[in-house]
């Protein structure tokens, strides 16, 4: 199961949280205040969608979430962990991919791609690192879209790799939301092909 070791690792996660709070995760310091994302402050009192619409770096993601009909879901109680690809991550996909995904006839495919970035629990960077350590250096994460992601870290860098070998670096960690947490990533995950 995705986070079956969560309860036994809470103590370890607290200790790791203290350690990580003094270090950077790929240039993004883990602090008590939410980091800025896309030039906008992120309020921990707002939900995932309310915050995402304010980020200039996530306009493609927001448009895709709206086209997929997932706004209401991501405004729900959660908790959710969202690996949120930036506009640059979407732009790095093969030419025409985003336009194709946004076509009404490709709604199910778009929904699956987007839900491959969402986990049905709240997992902070400290939680991820703790699970990676507990699993011997790599932790498997099952997403709501059925994708299996592999989480690893090297020093201060957490990497999430999808089933196709696409590796995304967490560029901003622990953007706390009222219904979960966002980790900004530099790549888009896709289901196994």
Q: For residue 160, list its beta bridge partners.
A: 151, 168
pLDDT digits (tens, 9 = 90+) for 38-64: 989 999 999 999 999 999 999 999 999
pLDDT of residue 103: 93
Report the pLDDT averaged over residues 97-117.
94
141: CB partners within 8 A, 6+ apart: 2, 119, 123, 148, 149, 150, 151, 160
Residue 122 has pLDDT above 60, yes or no: yes
> What's the confidence (pLDDT) of residue 173?
95
pLDDT of residue 193: 74
Classify 6-185 by CATH class.
mainly beta
The answer to whether residue 1 scores a pLDDT higher than 70 is no
- What span, in angstroms and rounded, lies between the C-alpha atoms of 48 and 73? 10
Q: What residue segments make up the domains of the chain, in order of their start?
A: 6-185
Confidence band (pLDDT; 50, 70, 90) for 30? very low
- State pLDDT tens for residues 143-171: 999 999 999 999 989 999 999 999 999 99
Give phi and psi for 118, each to the nearest 5: -125, 135
Residue 96 is given by DSSP the state T
- Cβ-count burial of 13 within 10 angstroms (0-12 exposed, 13-18 middle, 19+ buried)? buried
Q: How are strands ordered across the β-sheet holding 139-142? A: 118-119, 80-85, 180-185, 167-177, 157-161, 148-154, 139-142
> Is residue 6 over pLDDT 50?
no
């Amino acid at each position: 199961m995705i986070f079956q070791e969560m309860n036994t690792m809470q103590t370890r996660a607290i200790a790791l949280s203290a350690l990580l709070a003094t270090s950077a995760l790929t240039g993004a310091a883990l602090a008590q205040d939410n980091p800025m994302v896309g030039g906008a402050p992120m309020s921990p009192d707002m939900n995932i969608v309310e915050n995402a619409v304010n980020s200039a770096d996530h306009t493609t993601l927001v448009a895709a979430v709206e086209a997929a009909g997932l706004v209401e879901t991501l405004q729900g109680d959660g908790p959710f962990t969202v690996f949120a690809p930036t506009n640059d991550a979407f732009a790095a996909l093969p030419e025409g991919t985003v336009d194709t995904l946004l076509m009404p006839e490709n709604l199910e495919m778009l929904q699956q791609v987007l839900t491959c970035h969402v986990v049905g629990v709240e997992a902070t960077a400290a939680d991820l690192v703790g699970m990676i350590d507990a699993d011997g250096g790599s932790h498997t994460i099952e997403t709501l879209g059925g994708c299996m992601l592999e989480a690893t870290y090297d020093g201060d860098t957490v990497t999430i790799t999808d089933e196709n070998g696409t590796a995304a670096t967490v560029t901003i960690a622990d953007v706390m939301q009222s219904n979960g947490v966002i980790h900004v990533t530099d790549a888009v995950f896709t289901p196994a092909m």
